[in-house]
């Protein structure tokens, strides 16, 4: 039995990056041997085991044969006679098809180290076209590694276009599309993910509601530079999208509620926020209430980040709105007054006090 570190951990080590996780391949073993050694089986479609001490994933070397459409349309074969080179050959990109032995030796049968130096994302073999998820993965790797100078190899770009034209992309399930898209939104240059999908024709199939234009691209990149929150980036991306289209997209991809709510809020309010400098105190208060800022101040801050990314403004207006929320939210009423009020009268009294505070704040600004 031989054990090898494979995939992303080897790639990131050679790039000088920290690896988020480590994956291992076991050659020359059976499931029974690993279980007797204390490994716990977790794989459903093929044998994957958790190490008894580190809980890292160890997979038996395997072969795959295409039997139907989509990324589930594979027959997997594993046995002690499957070699490491055969296992690596089924991987997507050459930079992900390297391994390192326990003795430290690098195994690189498909030129991954060469492509790391050339800064190329290149497919390992023609079998690349058999799995449509690879369209998304290549786009995500491009978004992650753009800052290091990586580009798509021309032949891989053509394969992506072929996969879309052949209809293979239609077999992608919504949950997988969102999972890869969410990870791409967290990347250093998330716009590159959508560039690659548009270039190969997949964007119109997978995200027909999205109008990928220069404004959307700039907004997404500004959001990425402003902070790591992927929900803010998602909201900035969709700010000019119709509310009904956002609902359709989120329902189809099963987008988490926090992403969906912020995107809808941004689409509804970003123009009002952009015009907030023209509002009087009552208009500002209406805006804060429409954004539910008093109950959810953290989401209001995310809303301001998303709208700022979309507008490209200098941020002074958004800072003023953040100050307005803090001042209005800090209003308190005397106990004697509260004791005399019931029901909606309490809410009305708070609103009047908040309005008075905002009027005073605007007066102070005009004087300064």
Q: Does residue 132 sit within a domain?
A: no
10 Å CB burial of residue 160 (0-12, 13-18, 19+) is buried
pLDDT of residue 45: 62
pLDDT, mean over the chain? 93
Residue 52: domain span: 1-117
Residue 207 has pLDDT above 90, yes or no: yes
Per-residue HEC secondary structure of 278-320 comes to: HCCHHHHHHHHHHCCCCCCHHHHHHHHHHHHHHHCCCCHHHHH
- pLDDT > 70 fraction of the chain, expressed in percent and rounded: 96
CA distance 106 to 336: 77
DSSP 71-100: TT-EEEEE-TT--HHHHHHTSSBGGGS-EE
The helix or strand, by DSSP H or E, that contains position 108, with its residue range, turns out to be none
Q: Does residue 77 sit within a domain?
A: yes
pLDDT of residue 338: 85
CA distance 160 to 182: 20
Q: Does residue 308 sit within a domain?
A: no
Q: pLDDT per residue over 249-298, tens digit each?
A: 999 999 999 999 999 999 999 999 999 999 999 999 999 999 999 999 99
Q: What CATH number should be reported for the domain holding residue 95?
A: 3.30.460.10
With cut-offs at 50, 70 and 90, classify the pLDDT of residue 76: confident
Q: Does residue 322 sit within a domain?
A: no
Q: Does residue 73 sit within a domain?
A: yes
CB 158 within 8 A of CB 148: no
Q: Does residue 21 sit within a domain?
A: yes
Q: Is the backbone of residue 25 left (phi > 0), alpha (psi -120 to 50) or beta?
A: beta
Q: Does residue 62 sit within a domain?
A: yes
Q: Does residue 8 sit within a domain?
A: yes
CA distance 99 to 3: 10
Give the SS3 label for residue 204: helix
10 Å CB burial of residue 110 (0-12, 13-18, 19+) is buried
CA distances 162 to 66, 69, 102, 112, 278, Å, are 17, 15, 39, 23, 52
With cut-offs at 50, 70 and 90, classify the pLDDT of residue 70: low
Neighbours of 153 (CB within 10 A): 16
The helix or strand, by DSSP H or E, that contains position 142, with its residue range, turns out to be helix 133-145
CB 209 within 8 A of CB 240: no
E runs forming strands in 209-365:
none
Residue 46 has pLDDT above 80, yes or no: no
CA distance 356 to 303: 25
Distance between the two ends of the chain, CA-based, in angstroms? 76
Model confidence, pTM: 0.90
Number of domains in the chain: 1
CB 237 within 8 A of CB 216: yes
């Amino acid at each position: 039995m031989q054990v090898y570190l494979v995939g992303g951990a080897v790639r990131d080590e050679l790039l000088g990056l920290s690896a988020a996780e480590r994956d291992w391949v076991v050659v020359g073993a059976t499931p029974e041997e690993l279980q007797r050694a204390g490994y716990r089986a977790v794989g459903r479609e093929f044998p994957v085991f958790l190490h008894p001490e580190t809980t890292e994933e160890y997979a038996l070397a395997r072969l795959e044969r295409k039997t139907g459409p989509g990324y589930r349309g594979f027959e997997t074969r594993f046995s002690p006679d499957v070699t490491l080179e055969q296992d690596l050959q089924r991987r997507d990109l050459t930079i992900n098809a390297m391994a390192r032995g326990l003795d430290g030796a690098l195994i690189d049968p498909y030129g991954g180290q060469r492509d790391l130096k050339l800064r190329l994302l290149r497919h390992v073999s023609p079998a690349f076209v058999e799995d449509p998820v690879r369209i998304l993965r290549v786009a995500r790797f491009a978004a992650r590694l753009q800052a290091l100078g990586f580009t798509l190899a021309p032949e891989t770009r053509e394969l992506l276009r072929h996969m879309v034209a052949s209809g293979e992309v239609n077999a992608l399930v919504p949950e997988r599309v969102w999972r890869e898209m969410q990870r791409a939104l967290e990347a250093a240059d998330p716009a590159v993910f959508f560039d690659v999908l548009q270039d190969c024709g997949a964007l119109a199939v997978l995200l027909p509601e999205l109008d990928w234009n220069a404004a959307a691209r700039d907004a997404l990149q500004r959001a990425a530079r402003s902070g790591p929150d992927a929900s803010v980036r998602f909201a900035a991306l969709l700010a000019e999208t119709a509310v009904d289209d956002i609902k359709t997209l989120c329902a189809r991809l099963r987008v988490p509620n926090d992403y969906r709510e912020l995107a809808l809020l941004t689409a509804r309010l970003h123009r009002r926020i952009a015009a907030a400098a023209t509002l009087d105190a009552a208009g500002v208060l209406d805006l804060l209430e429409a954004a539910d800022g008093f109950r959810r101040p953290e989401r209001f801050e995310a809303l301001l980040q998303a709208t700022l990314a979309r507008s490209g403004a200098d941020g002074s207006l958004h800072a003023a709105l953040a100050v307005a929320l803090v001042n209005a939210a800090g209003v308190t009423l005397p106990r004697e007054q509260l004791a005399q009020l019931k029901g909606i009268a309490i809410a009305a009294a708070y609103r009047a006090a908040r309005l008075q505070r905002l009027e005073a704040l605007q007066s102070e600004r005009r004087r300064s």
